[in-house]
Structure formats: structure tokens, C-alpha cells
């Protein structure tokens, strides 16, 4: 170690013993070579400790920023650090571990405007930065240049070295100021600040903004983590641990982020409290335990202003730190990605032009177009022929002359004309019936005028067109139609998606470009017409600053949601709820504000226009029935009144003769007497009030029953009464022996019985209203009153029993008025498990029993005592929980969250005992369709291979290229000959928008239709003889002929050759590089290689150049054709996550 030397210069004068002397003392040189070397050693130490690369096929890069006006010794320290890494290419002879990097330089020599005007720009994000300063203003100047570069990476690692001999004491103040500046201004937290406290020593600081309480989360807190003395740490172990400490905790319960949203239904609904993107944000919150403050607005996403720096609207708010992240149906945009970061794409939306729906045809056209013109002409001809024939027959008959006159010849006074009249009437009825049936079709699907359905027709109209401001970029190209659209396009408030503007579209006042999902979610779905051809189709993303700390975890979670189909399930739920449930709600409760006014010249056909022979025929029937019924009623009523007089006279004549009704309830009674010879029968009832209300005699309302097998509960629902809907209460009657036709009968057969002196309504009022009603086993009839509710949850039903369910409506204002609203019957089935057979694959459906599947397997009695039961459970898609019972007790602990093929082992299975396997959905919101299960008590499955304990398929990222990749997995421990097959499916990328093609599941790999899947790219099968291996060995396969910058889903299955089924490994998702480093082109199909067998890593080629202290760099120029604009726009933010 070299220490500074203190030199004394003495001057002597040879003047004798009394000579005077002068001593000159030189102070420490703060700018000398010793101080410079100490600064260089500090930089080497910090970069070697902090810049440790992850495993990647791409060499990571370091940027050293050079400031031209640096003072000494900062300038010499920076130049010395650069000089130490430009000593030429040589091998590492001292045996130390080296790290290879690509070294880049940036400077403030040119103006900042030239940063983005370079001819060739590298879009790969910078990994590490080294900045040497002597003033805080120079750090600001350096970051102003760095942040303007397209490759600026706020989540990169920064080492800032400060050395100013005139400032040695304000280390903590400078560290806080620098860390705050990097965090607030540039959103960077991975920063080390080395402050020179003397000529040889440096104090190292870092920031911690996210650990702590709710009050200080988001506030920069400085931490002094080390002291460097001439290139060495005073406490190396502690310093290394503090330097590599993660700045972002796994859970951030104490942090709250500002979430700015734009109303864009259905992704962000009105009020910004619900929506598809809000649901995805809730899923992210549940996983990472952070909080958000939602800010709702109708602002646009934002565009880059003319100055090239400032952003407008929501992006401007985020740049001003008023928002941490924004959402609102934002699609990927290259200009936005140049300055901001975005999450992985999710969901999907389609945009098209919406115009006015064509109006209905005129009434006379509708009535005429039911039949063709030739048919009407034929009817006229038939009428003319019939009239002529009638006249000729009438005049030719031997009738009196007055009957043969023209005015009286239509009188069918003879049999011939009567027969002819009947035939003509039948023909007329047939024609009228056909016309009426066609008229009903017209009512249900009324024809419309010509519908505008092309962009050419829209451009030929004079109606103004427009949409959101950000959509206008789609038409800024050389296409003629797009140029015409761009010339007329308006982004004013009148063309923003809203209810008022959609009403204007429905009235034909304007044409709006908007999302199909938004229109589907609005009240005008079906009232406006969208062109069949989509203008644009894209996926959705959230936007935030590049340094947002949770972005890598956001991307990982959203990718998992996409792979598991959860985002697709959310969109399918939206389609069902909006399309069906909301439409039903609109029909039941229409909104008067949404009614569209018809033009004055349009008349809609209604049932009033449906005039035909049937109305006359019905009038004749009514008149005949009335006349006949009045006569019959008069004679019958006269006889009954006569008999009643006789009977009443007899009772009056007899003393103490009366008819008594015991236990009568209060109310109105209707009594009538009927004579039966010498006896008389007296009838009474209290239900005749029902006959006074016609609505009570309609068809019974349906009853819906939802079964919950896991809870042994049934939810019974019914519709409200259409008669006095606000005055009706309801009672559900559950009986086992027979149906109950009246409420009085149900009360008499129930535990309440018949109570004297009380009305039915008073008895029901004393019953308690319970949300859950348990059905007693010893009572045959149970009554559960729900007040005005139209649902009741019942439990305790006996298995294998038939129950009769009746719903009665009780009028709360009228005495003894109740009627049967609906009735049904259910049979409670006991859940019987599926019997598993040794080594045979079984498939179970979880949707059949409400998310529950039961299986049963009996251990053979001849098995030995140490039998091991193996279960192979494969969820086709989604996540399940597995529980195993023996004698109603758990055999092992429940296995939770099984989302991939998994082998479950039960040691020491009891011979002769039956094990019950219960598989349930892990989350009721994300339904799992099917599962596969196979059970065996042998070491090997009978017709299936044995899988290793670790069924993971991994990608060897070191061997990944733009056209090929290598996957690896553990071989089967089975000693039989195993056949491995791989299936490669192409997935969507961010810059290619395919239709929503469903990816296959584990269970679909056995289906022959898998080879017809549109995304299937390759299949490969190999055989491997495991006789020489007693344990699983790594296997690998190289897959080529892949497209650059694409995602692929890879399945690996193992089977016993041609016999038996196959078992899948866990799927793997890989991505090829966005650009090629090799000089060779993409290999052809014949040159594709499959390398299998025990896997060993390739030795990486030793790059040239090295960094002392564990950091190295080299620069390998790329060809120009791989730096063109197409590869710039295909840059993927996930590349950084893969590298880290």
C-alpha cells in the first residue's frame, strides 16, 4: 500500500554555529497521483461489487459519462478508470474471476437535442452507469443527457463518485440531495454515492425509499453502507451485504401509489370503481399487498408536445409526479414507449366506425313484401276466376229469376254454391294463415333499409366523423382512404365516447370511431351499427414511468394471469353480464332517457296492424258463446234458485236445524246449494276471490334451483308476482309425501296445523323470516316465509329423497287471498365418487358438481403392508386443491394450489381400505373444467410412464438465439422405453395482433385435433432407453426454425411408445431474441438439429477485454441491417426482466 510522503526541505547557511535556518513544510497534495489512484481504486471496488451480471447470452453494458469541465482530481479519476479498461485485449493471467461488459461513452460535448437525432441508435437498455462529478449541478447536467437517450434505464445501477477537495464535510447532505434527485426526478433507486471525505477515503451511501411505515414510504432515506479506504472496504462482508440489498421489498403494505384512470368502459367504468382493468389491479394488489389511490378523469392519454419534451393530459400528470401509473384502455404506442414503461399486454379490444342503424322500411312496403309480386298477381287471378265461376254457376242453376240477378247471385241458396263457398273459405283461411305467420316474422325481425357498412360509404356522406385524439395516428400514412379520413377527422368533445354522443350517432348526426367493447357496454348496443371490418385491433396495457419499482413483478403476475386464462375469463364474464344480464334488466326496467325518437316519416308496425280473418272469426265465436251461455245460465240459475228456496224453506220449517263449520277463520265465504234428488249439498269456499282477478289464473311461474353440493345447500329462486307486486309476500312449502295445492292444505299438514280464530295472514306473520331454513327430517311439510324476498336457502335435505316445492303468494291487504305462484320437484342425489382402476386414466369434470370432483380407489387386499399409493393429478387448466380421506379422516395434509401435473404419494397405504380423493377448485371465480387422475399401488404405472419428482421444463437461456432455443427436463425414472414428445405453439406478441386463439391445455395433447391447431408450429418425438439409468438424468432438446422476438408455449409429454396414454410435464414459455447476433441467416428446415441426451452447459466463448475487480467489457459491433427501424420498434420491455 502506498501512502503519501511528507517531504522537508531544509536550507543551510554555513555561517558558523549561530547560523539561522528556515524549514518549509509541504501540505498533502489533494490532487496528486496518490489521491487519483485512491479514487480509481474506489470506482473499481464499487463497480466490481455492485455490477454483477445475471446469466444471459447478451453481454451487459456500462456507460461512463464524461463531463468536459471537471476539476482535478475528478477528471483524472475518470480518465484513469477509462484508461484501465482500454489496455488492449489479453487473457486474465492472475486467475481472478472476471466479468465481461460492453463499455460505452457518453459526453456533454454536443447539445442535448442531438441525443435523439443520431443515425444509429442502440435501443438496448443500459444496465450500469458510472458518473464522476465534483458538483451537484454537474450530476444534474449528466442526467439531463442520460435521460434523453432511448436506452435510458431508470432501473439500472448507478455509481456516482464525488471528489472535491474544497468540500470534505458535507457527505450526508450531498448524498441526500443526490439520492433525492435521482429518485424524484428520474425514478432511480439503485444508486450508490461515493463521497470523498479525505484524500484516501470515501463514504458510500445508498437510498431506501420503500422500507418503513406509511408515513415515510416513498421518501428517500439515506443509508451509509460502507467506507472505502484506498480501494478496500473496512468491513467487507457487511459492505457487500448492504450493497446488494434489494431496494424493493416483496410486499409493500405500507406504500400507496397514485393510480390515475380514464373512463373507458368496460375497462374503466364510470366512476372508476369497477371495470376489467380495475379487477386486474385488485389481483395485483392481492399478490403484492400494496395500496392505491384511484383518481378518476375523462382526460386523454396524452401526446408529445411540439417541444419534444413535454407531454399532455394523463402522461403529463405522470411526468409531473401527480400519478404513479395510468390506465384506461391504452394500447401500445412506440412514441410513448420511448419515454415511458408499460406492463405486459392483457385483454384485447377492437375499434371500428359506428354509424346510425338503418331505419325500418315503410309500412306498405313491409305488408307488400311478405309475398312476392307474382304471388299477389296469382291471388288476384284466383279471386277473378272464383268470382266468374260463382256467377256462371249461379246463373246456370234452376233457380228463380230473382235469385239469378247479379246482385243476389252470391247467396248460396243451393248445395252447389254452398260446397263451392266452403272450398273457397278453406282456401282463404290457408292464405290468411300463411300471411299471418309471415307477418309475425316481420314483427320479430322487421326489415330495414340499406345499411352503411364500408368506409367508402361513410366518406361519401357529409356527416362529420371523428374519435379520440390518440386514434388519429392510425390514419397518418400514404393510403388514399386514410388521407381522406385524416382530413375530415375531428377529436373534439363531440366525438368522445359518451352516452350523449352515442345518442347523436343513433340519430345520424355524426360518425364516431370507438371501441366495440364500449358500445357493447352502453345502452346503445343494438341501436347503432358498427362496421363489420375492424379499423384496429390491439391489446391493453398500463403505463408508468420507466423506474416504477413494481413493474417487473407486475409483468410476471400479468403473464401468469394470461397463461392461466384468467384475463380471458374476466372478458368472457363481461360479455355474459353485459350482453345478457344487462339486456334483461333493460327489458324489465327500461330507461326513458334512452328511448330514441323516430323520424316523423317512420311508422313502426305493431300488433294493431295485424288485421285478418281471425279477428272476425273470434268475434263470431264470442257472440255465439255469449248468446248460448246466457240462455243456459238463465235456465240453470232458475233451477238452482228454485231448489234453494225449497231448502231454505225446509230449514225454516225445521226448528234447531243448522249447518256448522268448526274452526273457521275470519274472511269472506261463498256458499251455494245444489239439489241432488231428495238431498241437498252445501258448498263453501274462501278462494272464489281468486276468480275475481284474471292475472291469478295465468301459467305458473318457473322456479330455479341452484345446488351447492359441497355445502349440502339449495338456493331456490322465483319471480315476483305480476299481481299487486308491492303488496305480495311469499312462502316456500317443502314437502316429501305429496304436493300442496293450497296454502291452507300446507298449513294443515305442517307443524303449525290449523288454528281457530286466526286468519291465514296472521298465522304467517307469526312465522320468523330466516335466510337459511333447515328442513327437519321428522316433518313431512315445512313452510319458510320470505316476506317480499324471492329466494330462500334451504339445507338439511335427506339424500336420495324426492321433495315437492311450491311457492305461494299471499296478499297483505286482502283477507284470505293467496294463490299458487309456482311448483316444481327435485330429487336429492347423493354424490357418488368415480371408481378408479389400477393404472387407468380417469377424467373428472368439476363443473358438474359446482367445482367438486370425487374419486375413490380401493387398495387390493393382497397388497403388502408397506404399499405406496401414487396419484397423478393433472388439472387441464386452472388451479385445484386435493384432499385424500380414509374412513372420513384425512390421510395426508391437503395439497393446495395444484396447477401443473403433480404426483402425490401416500406412504404405508392400508390394504383393503378405500381412499376417497376430493378435488375442489382453488378459486370459485376461476372455474376449472376438467382434471385427469391416475392411481397405482405399483412402482410403475401399468400403461403409463413414471414421471420424476421435478417435472419442470426449463429454457437454457445461455443457448437462446433469435431463431432457436434449448429446453431441458429430467428424464423419467421408469426403466421401460420412454417416448418423449414436444409440442411447440406460437403465442401472441406485443406488435402482432392475432385473433383470440385459445391455447391448448394439458388434457388436449392426447386429442388428434391438436395437430389442426392454428398456433401449432412443430412437434418432435424421440425415444430414450432408461435401462442404464437408475435415477432421472437431465435431457435437453434444441428447437430451431423459430421466429425472432416471439413467445412460444412448449409442452413435453412422456409415454410408453405406442401403448397406453401419455403424461405431461409442466409447460414452459420461451421467447426468442428480438435481433440476431449471428452473421448467418435463419437455418432451413433440413439443417434443424435436435440434441438430446444428458445435458451439459456450453462453455461461453471468452470475450476480449476485462475489468479489474470483477468487471469487464468489450464492444462487438452489430451489422447495420440488424439496427434498422423495424427492430427498434420491436424492442420488448420484457427483455430486461429476462436478463435480471
Say how far apart CA 723 and CA 737 lie, in whole Å. 30
Instruction: For the sheet with 201-207, list strands across it.
Output: 101-107, 60-66, 128-133, 157-162, 191-196, 201-207, 222-229, 232-233
What is residue 59's DSSP assignment? Answer: P
Highest mean pLDDT out of 87-96, 438-447, 593-602, 793-802: 793-802
Sign of the torsion formed by the C-alpha atoms of 395, 398, 400 and 401: positive
Sign of the torsion formed by the C-alpha atoms of 1098, 1102, 1107 and 1112: negative
| pLDDT of 827 above 70 | yes
The CA–CA distances, whole Å, from 586 to 446, 589, 702, 835 equal: 20, 5, 21, 48
Pick 112 or 693 by higher pLDDT. Answer: 112
Peptide bond into 1027 cis (omega under 30): no
Peptide bond into 995 cis (omega under 30): no
CATH of 33-243, picked from 1.10.3720.10, 3.30.1360.30, 3.40.50.2300, 3.40.50.1100, is 3.40.50.2300
Residue 267 burial class via C-beta count within 10 angstroms: exposed 0-12, middle 13-18, buried 19 and up: buried
On whether the CB atoms of residues 1038 and 1085 are closer than 8 A, the answer is: no
* DSSP codes of every residue in 268-295: B-TTSSSSHHHHHHHHHHHHH--EEEEE
Number of Cβ atoms within 10 Å of the Cβ of 648: 12
Residues present in the chain in total: 1140
Q: What is the pLDDT of residue 635?
A: 46
Instruction: For the sheet with 713-718, list strands across it.
Output: 703-708, 713-718, 791-795, 772-774
Residue 341 burial class via C-beta count within 10 angstroms: exposed 0-12, middle 13-18, buried 19 and up: buried
On whether the CB atoms of residues 812 and 759 are closer than 8 A, the answer is: no
Residue 385 burial class via C-beta count within 10 angstroms: exposed 0-12, middle 13-18, buried 19 and up: exposed
pLDDT digits (tens, 9 = 90+) for 723-752: 778 888 899 999 988 888 888 888 888 877
Q: What is the pLDDT of residue 483?
A: 86
Band of residue 1124 on the pLDDT scale cut at 50, 70, 90: very low
Q: Judging by DSSP bridges, how do beta strands 728-735 and 801-811 pair with one another?
A: antiparallel
Sign of the torsion formed by the C-alpha atoms of 896, 902, 908 and 913: positive
537-541, 706-710, 1032-1036: least confident range: 706-710
**Phi and psi torsions of 850, nearest 5°:** 65, 45
Is the whole model's pTM more than 0.75, yes or no?
no
Q: What is the pLDDT of residue 158?
A: 93
Rg (CA), the chain: 43
Superfamily of chain region 954-1090: Immunoglobulins (2.60.40.10)
Residue 641 burial class via C-beta count within 10 angstroms: exposed 0-12, middle 13-18, buried 19 and up: exposed
On whether the CB atoms of residues 508 and 565 are closer than 8 A, the answer is: no
Residues 6+ apart with CB under 8 A from 367: 439, 609
Say how far apart CA 724 and CA 730 lie, in whole Å. 13
CATH of 692-698+710-828, picked from 2.60.40.180, 3.40.190.170, 3.40.50.10470, 2.60.40.10, is 2.60.40.10
Pick 1112 or 828 by higher pLDDT. Answer: 828
456 sits in which H/E element: helix 455-460
Band of residue 192 on the pLDDT scale cut at 50, 70, 90: very high
Mean pLDDT of the chain: 76
Q: What is the pLDDT of residue 710?
A: 55
Residues 6+ apart with CB under 8 A from 673: 640, 643, 644, 647, 680, 681, 682, 683
**Phi and psi torsions of 1083, nearest 5°:** -70, 150
At the topology level, CATH places domain 834-936 in Jelly Rolls (2.60.120)
What the block records as the C-alpha cell of 161 is 463518485
pLDDT digits (tens, 9 = 90+) for 116-130: 666 556 667 888 999
Highest mean pLDDT out of 180-194, 233-247, 672-686, 948-962: 180-194
Find the mean pLDDT for residues 1114-1120: 38
Q: Judging by DSSP bridges, how do beta strands 101-107 and 60-66 pair with one another?
A: parallel
* DSSP codes of every residue in 165-225: TT--S-HHHHHHHHHHIIIIIH----EEEEEESSSSEEEEEEE--SSS-TTTTTS--EEEE
Find the mean pLDDT for residues 316-334: 88
Instruction: With both helix axes pointing from N to C terminus, report the angle between 236-243 and 33-50 in degrees, rounded to the nearest 10.
Output: 60
Band of residue 1083 on the pLDDT scale cut at 50, 70, 90: very low
Say how far apart CA 549 and CA 554 lie, in whole Å. 10
Residues 6+ apart with CB under 8 A from 1109: 44, 45, 47, 48, 49
1054 - beta bridge partners?
A: 980, 1063
pLDDT digits (tens, 9 = 90+) for 267-282: 888 888 888 888 889 8
- Among left, alpha and beta (phi > 0; psi -120 to 50; other), residue 289 is left
pLDDT digits (tens, 9 = 90+) for 348-387: 888 899 998 887 766 667 777 777 788 888 888 888 888 7
| pLDDT of 1115 above 90 | no
Q: What percent of the chain has pLDDT over 90?
A: 9
- Among left, alpha and beta (phi > 0; psi -120 to 50; other), residue 728 is beta
What the block records as the C-alpha cell of 254 is 405500507
| pLDDT of 339 above 80 | yes
The CA–CA distances, whole Å, from 942 to 839, 875, 964 equal: 5, 21, 37
Find the mean pLDDT for residues 456-482: 85
Q: What is the pLDDT of residue 666?
A: 59
The CA–CA distances, whole Å, from 1072 to 862, 965, 987, 989, 1048 equal: 54, 7, 12, 11, 8
| pLDDT of 997 above 90 | no
Say how far apart CA 348 and CA 994 lie, in whole Å. 10
Band of residue 413 on the pLDDT scale cut at 50, 70, 90: low
On whether the CB atoms of residues 1064 and 1053 are closer than 8 A, the answer is: yes
Q: What percent of the chain has pLDDT over 70?
A: 72
Amino acid at each position: 500500500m502506498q501512502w503519501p510522503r511528507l517531504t522537508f526541505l531544509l536550507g543551510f547557511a554555513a555561517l558558523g554555529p549561530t547560523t539561522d535556518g528556515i524549514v518549509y513544510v509541504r501540505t498533502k497534495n489533494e490532487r496528486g497521483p496518490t489521491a487519483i489512484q485512491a479514487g480509481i481504486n474506489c470506482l473499481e471496488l464499487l463497480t466490481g461489487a455492485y455490477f454483477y451480471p445475471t446469466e444471459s447470452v447478451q453481454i451487459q453494458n456500462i456507460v461512463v459519462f464524461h463531463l468536459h469541465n471537471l476539476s482535478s482530481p475528478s477528471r483524472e479519476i475518470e480518465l484513469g478508470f477509462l484508461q484501465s479498461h482500454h489496455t488492449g485485449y489479453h487473457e486474465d493471467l492472475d486467475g481472478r474471476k472476471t466479468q465481461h461488459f460492453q463499455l460505452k461513452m457518453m459526453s456533454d460535448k454536443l447539445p442535448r437535442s442531438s441525443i435523439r437525432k443520431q443515425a444509429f441508435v442502440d435501443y438496448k437498455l443500459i444496465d450500469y452507469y458510472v458518473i464522476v462529478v465534483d458538483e451537484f449541478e454537474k450530476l444534474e447536467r449528466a442526467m439531463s443527457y442520460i435521460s434523453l437517450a432511448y436506452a435510458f434505464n431508470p432501473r439500472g445501477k448507478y455509481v456516482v463518485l464525488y471528489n472535491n477537495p474544497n468540500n470534505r464535510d458535507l457527505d450526508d447532505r450531498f448524498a441526500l440531495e443526490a439520492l433525492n434527485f435521482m429518485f424524484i426526478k428520474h425514478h432511480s433507486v439503485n444508486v450508490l454515492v461515493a463521497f470523498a471525505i479525505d484524500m484516501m477515503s470515501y463514504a458510500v451511501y445508498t437510498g431506501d425509499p420503500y422500507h418503513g411505515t406509511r408515513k415515510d414510504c416513498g421518501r428517500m432515506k439515506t443509508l451509509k453502507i460502507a467506507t472505502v479506504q484506498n480501494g478496500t472496504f473496512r468491513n467487507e462482508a457487511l459492505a457487500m451485504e448492504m450493497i446488494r440489498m434489494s431496494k424493493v421489498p416483496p410486499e409493500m403494505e405500507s406504500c400507496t401509489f397514485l393510480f390515475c384512470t380514464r373512463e373507458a368502459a368496460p375497462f374503466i367504468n364510470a366512476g372508476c370503481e369497477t371495470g376489467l382493468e380495475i379487477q386486474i389491479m385488485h389481483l395485483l394488489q392481492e399478490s403484492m399487498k400494496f395500496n392505491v389511490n384511484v383518481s378518476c378523469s375523462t382526460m386523454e392519454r396524452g401526446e408529445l408536445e411540439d417541444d419534444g419534451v413535454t407531454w399532455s393530459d394523463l402522461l403529463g400528470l405522470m411526468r409531473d409526479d401527480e400519478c404513479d401509473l395510468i390506465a384506461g384502455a391504452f394500447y401500445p404506442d412506440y412514441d410513448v414507449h420511448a419515454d415511458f414503461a408499460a406492463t405486459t399486454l392483457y385483454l384485447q379490444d377492437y375499434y371500428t366506425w359506428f354509424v346510425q342503424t338503418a331505419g325500418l322500411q315503410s309500412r306498405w312496403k313491409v305488408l307488400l313484401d311478405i309475398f312476392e309480386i307474382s304471388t299477389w298477381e296469382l291471388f288476384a287471378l284466383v279471386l277473378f276466376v272464383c268470382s266468374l265461376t260463382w256467377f256462371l254457376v249461379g246463373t246456370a242453376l234452376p233457380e228463380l229469376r230473382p235469385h239469378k240477378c247479379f246482385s243476389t247471385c252470391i247467396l248460396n241458396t243451393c248445395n252447389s254454391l254452398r260446397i263451392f263457398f266452403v272450398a273457397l273459405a278453406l282456401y282463404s283461411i290457408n292464405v290468411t294463415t300463411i300471411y299471418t305467420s309471415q307477418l309475425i316474422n316481420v314483427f320479430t325481425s322487421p326489415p330495414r333499409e340499406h345499411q352503411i357498412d364500408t368506409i367508402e360509404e361513410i366518406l361519401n356522406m357529409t356527416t362529420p366523423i371523428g374519435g379520440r385524439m390518440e386514434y388519429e395516428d392510425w390514419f397518418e400514412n400514404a393510403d388514399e382512404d386514410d388521407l381522406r379520413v385524416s382530413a375530415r377527422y375531428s377529436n373534439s368533445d363531440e366525438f368522445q365516447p359518451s352516452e350523449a354522443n352515442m345518442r347523436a350517432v343513433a340519430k345520424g348526426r355524426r360518425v364516431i370511431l370507438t371501441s366495440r367493447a364500449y358500445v357493447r357496454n352502453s345502452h346503445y348496443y343494438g341501436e347503432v351499427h358498427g362496421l363489420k371490418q375492424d379499423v384496429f385491433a390491439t391489446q391493453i396495457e398500463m403505463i408508468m414511468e420507466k423506474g416504477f419499482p413494481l413493474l417487473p413483478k407486475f409483468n410476471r403476475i400479468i403473464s401468469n394471469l394470461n397463461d392461466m386464462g384468467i384475463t380471458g375469463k374476466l372478458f368472457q364474464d363481461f360479455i355474459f353480464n353485459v350482453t345478457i344480464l344487462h339486456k334483461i334488466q333493460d327489458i324489465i326496467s327500461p330507461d326513458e332517457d334512452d328511448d330514441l325518437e323516430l323520424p316523423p316519416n317512420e311508422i313502426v308496425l305493431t300488433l294493431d296492424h295485424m288485421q285478418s280473418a281471425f279477428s272476425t272469426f273470434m268475434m263470431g265465436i264470442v257472440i255465439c258463446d255469449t248468446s248460448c251461455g246466457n240462455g243456459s245460465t238463465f235456465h240453470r240459475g232458475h233451477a238452482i234458485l228454485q231448489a234453494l228456496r225449497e231448502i231454505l224453506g225446509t230449514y225454516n220449517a225445521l226448528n234447531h236445524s243448522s249447518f256448522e263449520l268448526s274452526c273457521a277463520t275470519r274472511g269472506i265465504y261463498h256458499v251455494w246449494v245444489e239439489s241432488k234428488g231428495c238431498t241437498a249439498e252445501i258448498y263453501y269456499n274462501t278462494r272464489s276471490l281468486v276468480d275475481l282477478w284474471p292475472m291469478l289464473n295465468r301459467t305458473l311461474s318457473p322456479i330455479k334451483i341452484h345446488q351447492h353440493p359441497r355445502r349440502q345447500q339449495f338456493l331456490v329462486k322465483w319471480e315476483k308476482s305480476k299481481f299487486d307486486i308491492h303488496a305480495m309476500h311469499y312462502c316456500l312449502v317443502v314437502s316429501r309425501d305429496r304436493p300442496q295445492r293450497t296454502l291452507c292444505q300446507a298449513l294443515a299438514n305442517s307443524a303449525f296445523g290449523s288454528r281457530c280464530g286466526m286468519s291465514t295472514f296472521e298465522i304467517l306473520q307469526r312465522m320468523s323470516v330466516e335466510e337459511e331454513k333447515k328442513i327437519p327430517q321428522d316433518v313431512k311439510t315445512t313452510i319458510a316465509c320470505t316476506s317480499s324476498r324471492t329466494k330462500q336457502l334451504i339445507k338439511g335435505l335427506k339424500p336420495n329423497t324426492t321433495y315437492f316445492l311450491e311457492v305461494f303468494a299471499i296478499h297483505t291487504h286482502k283477507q284470505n287471498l293467496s294463490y299458487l305462484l309456482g311448483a316444481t320437484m327435485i330429487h336429492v342425489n347423493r354424490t357418488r365418487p368415480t371408481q378408479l382402476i389400477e393404472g387407468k386414466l380417469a377424467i373428472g369434470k368439476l363443473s358438474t358438481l359446482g367445482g367438486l370432483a370425487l374419486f375413490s380407489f380401493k387398495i387390493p387386499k393382497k397388497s403388502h403392508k408397506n404399499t405406496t399409493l401414487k396419484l397423478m393429478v393433472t388439472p387441464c387448466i386452472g388451479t385445484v386443491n386435493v384432499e385424500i380421506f380414509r374412513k372420513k379422516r384425512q390421510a395426508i395434509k391437503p395439497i393446495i394450489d395444484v396447477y401443473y401435473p403433480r404426483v402425490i404419494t401416500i406412504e404405508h397405504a392400508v390394504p383393503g381400505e378405500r381412499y376417497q380423493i376430493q378435488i375442489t377448485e382453488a378459486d370459485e371465480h376461476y372455474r376449472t373444467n376438467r382434471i385427469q387422475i391416475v392411481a397405482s399401488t405399483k412402482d410403475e404405472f401399468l400403461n403409463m410412464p413414471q414421471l420424476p419428482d421435478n417435472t419442470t421444463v426449463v429454457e437454457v437461456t445461455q443457448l437462446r438465439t433469435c431463431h432457436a432455443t434449448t429446453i431441458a427436463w429430467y428424464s423419467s425414472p421408469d426403466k421401460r422405453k420412454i417416448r418423449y414428445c414436444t409440442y411447440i405453439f406460437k403465442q401472441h406478441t406485443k406488435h402482432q395482433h392475432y385473433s383470440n386463439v385459445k391455447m391448448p391445455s394439458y388434457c388436449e395433447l392426447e386429442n388428434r385435433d391438436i395437430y389442426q391447431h392454428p398456433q401449432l408450429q412443430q412437434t418432435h418425438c424421440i425415444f430414450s432407453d432408461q435401462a442404464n439409468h437408475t435415477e432421472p438424468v437431465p435431457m435437453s432438446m434444441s428447437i430451431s426454425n423459430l421466429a425472432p422476438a416471439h413467445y412460444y408455449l412448449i409442452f413435453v409429454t412422456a409415454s410408453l411408445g405406442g401403448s397406453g396414454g401419455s403424461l405431461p410435464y409442466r409447460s414452459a414459455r420461451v421467447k426468442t431474441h428480438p435481433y440476431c447476433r449471428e452473421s448467418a441467416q435463419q437455418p432451413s428446415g433440413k439443417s434443424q438439429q435436435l440434441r438430446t441426451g444428458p445435458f451439459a452447459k456450453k462453455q461461453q466463448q471468452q470475450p476480449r477485454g476485462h475489468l479489474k475487480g470483477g468487471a469487464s467489457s468489450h464492444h462487438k459491433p452489430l451489422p447495420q441491417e440488424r439496427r434498422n427501424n423495424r427492430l427498434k420498434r420491436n424492442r420488448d420491455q420484457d427483455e430486461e426482466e429476462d436478463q435480471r
